[in-house]
């Protein structure tokens, strides 16, 4: 039976040949898809940073401020490297990247602590060029501050005539034990890498399909038949199912990222996600006039999709219009579903213990796949009519 007997098979084989004969598309589909996760993991290989340099501006120069700094400097996250006489001097060190944080004690710090009704203030400034700097400085300072506040409260209660044990009971926190369920290290890499893996599949597939569409348009070799639609989709699906299985099933285990979900749930999720992304990309490719347009689209949408999905930025802080727009992007549903399965141990089939079903995301991906398939059929039909009219 000849492969050319059925138009869909012919289009499928033709698309595979186009992909592997085009060095640019091959690099995007294969090399970039596999290389980008390694680059991102290399950037966040150290989940936590230590010895972040911090400048001190202590205008109080009191025993209380020195005790606070002594406790804070004992934390592994920071290192007090510079003592400045003014904020201007400390700000210059921050601009020169010699320090990544500043702590400021006002002149009345000791006086306010001695006043039973006084309120002492400490100012902390963090370098926001990296969230890791802010996290290390802020959290370690906050822990020391909470301990110091308890001691200050106990001293004030004793000054009021209370027994020390009774004063301690008043400020003692409720006993608790802290267990990190999904990110044991508390690092940014374990939190971000799973979402980035899903985004890499989305964006390289979008870029590659747009490059193929732009090339066909430049060479006047456009084919917008129904069989071409199915053949192109099938070729991309076969290639990317294998790549997605590696990225979403194998790499979290290789990178030692929390992977609590079952591999069969991940593979089951890949099917509607890839179909939704492929038909979404085919819809976009209709409007691409040249190969370079795909690169512009890739660069301009990657960060937007990441933020709109509500992964790296709280969804509640995203404007409502953008949040509703994100529901039409396959990445939004795919990222949340994969994080729930891989990092939180959710299941597509049942609910058990701490796990939660990701059926809403799974169903939404199938709806998007069907919707973009119908839209692609309509766009291909309209474009085919225009191509015929111009010949």
Does pLDDT of 390 surpass 80?
no
Dump pLDDT digits (tens) for 82-121: 999 899 999 999 999 899 999 999 988 888 777 767 777 8
What DSSP line would sit under 70-109, residue for residue? HHHHTSTTEEEEEEESSHHHHHHHHHTTS-SEEEEE-TTH
In this predicted structure, what is the pLDDT of residue 354?
43
* Residue 366 pLDDT class (50, 70, 90 cuts): very high
User: Where in the chain are all domains bearing CATH 3.40.190.10?
Assistant: 52-171
Dump pLDDT digits (tens) for 137-146: 888 888 888 7
In this predicted structure, what is the pLDDT of residue 2?
46
Q: What is the mean pLDDT of residues 366-370?
A: 96
Domain 52-171 adopts which CATH fold? D-Maltodextrin-Binding Protein; domain 2 (3.40.190)
Does pLDDT of 176 surpass 60?
no
Which residues are paired to 309 by β-bridges?
A: none
In this predicted structure, what is the pLDDT of residue 353?
44
In this predicted structure, what is the pLDDT of residue 188?
66
In this predicted structure, what is the pLDDT of residue 299?
80
3-state DSSP assignment of residue 41: helix
347 or 234: whose pLDDT is higher? 234
- Taking CA atoms, 205 is separated from 15, 34, 104, 240, 363, in Å, by 14, 12, 50, 8, 21
Dump pLDDT digits (tens) for 114-145: 776 777 788 898 887 777 788 888 888 888 88
């Amino acid at each position: 039976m000849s492969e050319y007997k059925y138009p869909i098979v012919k289009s499928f084989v033709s698309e595979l040949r186009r992909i592997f004969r085009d060095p640019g598309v091959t690099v995007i589909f294969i090399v970039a898809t596999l290389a980008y996760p390694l680059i991102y993991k290399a950037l966040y290989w150290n989940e936590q940073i230590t010895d972040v340099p911090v400048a001190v501006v202590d205008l109080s120069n009191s025993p209380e401020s020195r005790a606070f700094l002594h406790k804070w400097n004992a934390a592994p996250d920071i290192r007090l490297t510079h003592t400045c006489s003014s904020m201007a001097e400390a700000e210059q060190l921050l601009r020169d990247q010699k320090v990544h944080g500043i702590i400021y004690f006002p002149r009345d710090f000791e006086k306010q602590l001695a006043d039973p009704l006084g309120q002492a203030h400490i100012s902390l400034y963090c370098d926001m060029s990296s969230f890791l700097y802010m996290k290390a400085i802020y959290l370690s300072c906050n822990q020391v501050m909470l301990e110091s506040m308890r001691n200050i409260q106990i001293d004030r209660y004793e000054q009021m005539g209370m027994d020390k044990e009774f004063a301690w009971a008043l400020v003692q926190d409720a006993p608790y034990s802290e267990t990190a369920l999904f990110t044991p290290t508390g690092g940014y890499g374990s939190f971000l890498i799973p979402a980035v893996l899903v985004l890499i599949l989305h964006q390289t597939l979008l870029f590659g399909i747009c490059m193929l569409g732009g090339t066909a348009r430049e060479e006047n070799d456009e084919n917008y038949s129904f069989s071409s639609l199915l053949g192109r989709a099938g070729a991309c699906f076969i290639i990317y199912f294998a790549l997605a299985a590696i990225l979403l099933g194998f790499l979290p285990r290789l990178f030692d990222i929390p992977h609590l979900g079952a591999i069969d749930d991940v593979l089951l999720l890949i099917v509607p996600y890839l179909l939704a992304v492929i038909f979404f990309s085919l819809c976009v490719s209709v409007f691409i006039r040249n190969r370079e347009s795909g690169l512009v689209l890739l660069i301009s949408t990657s960060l937007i999709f990441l933020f709109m999905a509500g992964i790296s930025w709280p969804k509640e802080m995203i404007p409502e219009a953008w949040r509703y727009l994100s529901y039409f992007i396959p990445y939004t549903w795919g990222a949340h579903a994969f994080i729930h399965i891989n990092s939180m141990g959710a299941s597509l089939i049942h609910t058990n213990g701490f796990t939660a079903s990701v059926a809403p995301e799974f169903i939404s991906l199938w709806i998007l796949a069907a919707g973009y398939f119908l839209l692609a059929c309509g766009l291909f039909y309209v474009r085919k009519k225009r191509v015929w009219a111009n010949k």
